[in-house]
């Protein structure tokens, strides 16, 4: 009698069926150590994610996980089922961050397959999933859509019926949730007095600073989120890949760029929604990340709180003040790593 395989090879493109729900393994309890470790790995300086006293005075329930930290934890749960055999994670949309995650909260994740499309090469296909993260009380903490290019198990298997979901260009400002009233905001402690009214639509902000990502750092970050994607972990296996080495996890790029965005957006630390995100080109250990932002829109939420819609662009090994983005034909410029569109809460003028 031959024993059945016990290990999980991951899902291939043929395994994804629109309408299927995937319950992801390994819930994770967030600890104060996790919050400190996230700051250590990303350089995050936003006051509400550094100081419990500031957080409470700003209307939050206490020292919380940065919303991107919570997003990475939930994303990591999904990797063994969705992107273990991925070629690349292609993008994000319709991301909604509903409530704060505090130390002691336990996060789990599940995803629904909402679209599939085989690529013309017959070797890979794109899979769309809607993922939600839930806490120990069954409350939805966040949700988002992502699409990923996945290898086929058998290139001769027939292409499925093509289903490409319609996704919103942005989360409407009227749908934003999870923001505090910001009635009391210690501006000196936050590092800036800039409020909603100080930012203009179309304004570009050079975040100036750079951060070099080292091999050990991105490996620890990926383990922190329990992201098991082979392209980030297996140096031996990646010798035969297109690049011949491991890729740095895209979540590291997002968090590094947003930590750099502190310089110029000190009071806009709380992400409320992820409108869109594209990983444009790969990052490798030893590369230096820089970032710039553009104000795409503004919204008044309450008398004391507003929101900025921001495009965060990460570039590598170049001056962010050049504002490298796209050419007239819509092609990304050399060295652009990330194009990330999000809403962030910010105090209004007193």
Is residue 233 pLDDT above 80, yes or no?
no
Counting residues of the chain whose pLDDT is more than 90, the rounded percentage is 82
pLDDT in tens, 99-123: 999 999 999 999 999 999 999 999 9
333, pLDDT greater than 90: yes
Report the pLDDT value the prediction gives residue 228, as an integer from 0 to 100: 78
Q: What is the pLDDT of residues 62-73, one digit of tens each?
A: 999 999 999 999
State the virtual CA torsion across 6, 10, 14, 18 in degrees, nearest 10.
Answer: 110
pLDDT exceeds cutoff 80 at 230:
no
134-182 pLDDT, tens digit per residue, is 999 999 999 999 999 999 999 999 999 999 999 999 999 999 999 988 9
pLDDT at residue 1, as a whole number: 62
Residue 235 has what pLDDT? 79
**DSSP three-state, residue 132:** strand
Which pLDDT belongs to residue 217?
A: 87
Secondary structure E strands in 121-240: 124-134, 140-151, 204-206, 211-212
What separation in angstroms does the CA of 307 have from each of 19, 30, 107, 338? 34, 27, 26, 22
- Say which residue, 338 or 226, is predicted with more confidence: 338
| Token pair 């035969």: residue | 240
DSSP for 253-295 reads HHHHHHHHTTTT-TT--EEEEEEEEEE-S---TT-EEEEEEEE
End-to-end, the C-alpha distance of the chain in Å comes to: 75
Q: Which residues of 94-108 are buried (b: 16+ CB within 10 A; e: fewer)?
A: bbbbbbbbbbebebb
- Give long-range contacts, CB 8 A cutoff, 24+ apart: 213-217: 213/248, 213/252, 213/256, 213/283, 213/285, 213/286, 213/287, 213/288, 213/289, 214/285, 214/286, 215/285, 215/286, 217/41, 217/252
| Residue 306 confidence (pLDDT) above 70 | yes
CATH number given to 13-158+168-347: 3.10.129.10
Q: What is the pLDDT of residue 226?
A: 86
Tens of pLDDT, residue by residue over 239-268, are: 888 888 888 888 999 999 999 999 999 999
Residue 80's pLDDT is what? 92
183-210: average pLDDT: 97
Q: Quote the pTM value.
A: 0.94
Q: Which residue in this structure is represented by tokens 């995050």? A: 44
Amino acid 350: pLDDT: 80
| Mean pLDDT taken over the chain | 94
Note the pLDDT of residue 6: 83
User: What radius of gyration do the chain's Cα atoms show?
Assistant: 20
pLDDT at 229: 77
Find the length of the chain: 350
Question: What pLDDT is stored for residue 202 in this prediction?
Answer: 98
């Amino acid at each position: 009698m031959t024993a059945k395989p016990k290990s999980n090879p991951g899902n291939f493109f043929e395994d994804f069926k629109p309408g299927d729900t995937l319950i992801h393994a390994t819930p994770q309890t967030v600890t104060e150590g996790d919050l400190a470790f996230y700051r250590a790995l990303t350089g995050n300086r936003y006051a509400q994610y550094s100081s419990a006293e500031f957080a409470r005075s700003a209307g939050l329930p206490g020292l919380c996980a940065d919303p991107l930290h919570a997003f990475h934890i939930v994303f990591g749960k999904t990797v063994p089922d969705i992107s273990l055999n991925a070629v690349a994670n292609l993008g994000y949309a319709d991301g909604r961050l509903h409530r704060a995650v505090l130390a002691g909260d336990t996060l789990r994740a599940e995803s629904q397959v909402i679209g599939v499309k085989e690529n013309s090469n017959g070797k890979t296909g794109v899979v769309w999933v809607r993922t939600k993260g839930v806490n120990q009380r069954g409350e939805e903490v966040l949700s988002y859509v992502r699409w990923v290019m996945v290898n086929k198990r058998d290139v001769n298997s027939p292409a499925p019926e093509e289903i490409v979901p319609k996704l919103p260009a942005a989360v409407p400002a009227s749908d934003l949730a999870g923001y505090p009233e910001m009635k009391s905001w210690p501006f000196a402690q936050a590092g800036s007095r800039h409020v909603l009214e100080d930012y203009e639509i179309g304004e570009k902000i050079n975040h100036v600073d750079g951060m070099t990502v080292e091999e050990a750092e991105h490996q620890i970050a990926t383990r922190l989120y329990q992201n098991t994607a082979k392209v980030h972990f297996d140096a031996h296996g990646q010798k035969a890949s297109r690049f011949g080495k491991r890729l740095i996890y895209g979540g590291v790029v997002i968090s590094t760029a947003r930590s750099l965005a502190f310089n110029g957006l000190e009071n806009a630390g709380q992400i409320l929604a992820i409108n869109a995100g594209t990983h444009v080109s790969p990052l490798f250990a030893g590369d230096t990340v820089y970032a710039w932002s553009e104000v795409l829109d503004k919204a008044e939420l309450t008398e004391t709180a507003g929101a900025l819609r921001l495009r965060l662009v990460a570039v590598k090994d170049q001056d962010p003040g050049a504002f490298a983005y796209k050419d007239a034909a819509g092609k990304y410029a050399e060295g652009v790593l990330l194009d990330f569109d999000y809403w962030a809460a910010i105090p209004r003028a007193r």
